[in-house]
Amino acid sequence: MKKVAVVTGANRGLGFETCRQLAKQGIQVILTSRDEAKGKAAAEQLQAEGLDVIFHPLDVTSPDSIEHLAQFIRNEFGRLDILVNNAGIALDFVFGPDGSIFNTKIETLQKTIETNTYAPLLLCQALVPLMKANNYGRIVNVSSGAGQLDDMQTGYPAYRISKTALNAVTRLIANELKDTNILVNVLCPGWVRTDMGGPNAPRSLEEGVDTIVWLATLPDDGPTSQFFRDRKPISW
């Protein structure tokens, strides 16, 4: 039986390439995005490559949308093996005075945390039962070195805080699932050439998703509750 994977924020960039690489390993991939037209086009592109990818709309900030996805998976597959929480936003990628924590608008912080932190938590709450049913799961949360506490600098505070909080969510979920075969990890993909990373970023999409795909397909004795970059643990 094919493994089933969900990837969020997958109509472009890291999410799209993650879908491609997982599907190339024979995994049934559910490509999700908020923009239905772009999501369908992305799935059709991968289908044209002969890959087993389907589209399902998902607004990660909407509990109703998340529940609709969970119901779809229950009805169509009855299981979920892999969840890649990739969807994320960066609203305050600025430096200088505008990037100061003292000038951060609470509205910016709230909106960023809603997508980058609350959404992965809500998705885990909705979808982990589908993993528990088969005692198998791989949860991969896409974070950033910007959220590392031991390297916390100035600039884009809302983004940094949201990723630090995501790291905490990862540890909490992993701890509660430590006696199961559901492995939960978080990673920094590095500075990748995406719409968010820009054209001058040093890393290709393939390099950026390598650790995501590795964590999504870990063996049963693989690591859990760790933070990775380039398949190597890094500090929180």
Q: How many CB atoms lie within 10 A of CB 205?
A: 20
Separation CA 138–CA 59 (nearest Å): 21
Q: Is position 159 annotated as part of the catalytic site?
A: yes
Phi and psi at residue 178, in whole multiples of 5°?
-65, -25
Buried b (16+ CB within 10 A) or exposed e, 17-56: bbbbbbbeeebbbbbbbbeeeebbebbebbeeeebebebb
* Beta-bridge partner residues of 233: 228
* Beta strand 227-229 pairing with 232-233: antiparallel
Per the residue annotation, which of 118, 136, 156, 159 is the catalytic one? 159
Buried b (16+ CB within 10 A) or exposed e, 150-176: eeeeebbbbbbbbbbbbbebbbebbee
Give the type of residue at 38: K
Radius of gyration of the chain (CA): 17
Active site residues: 159
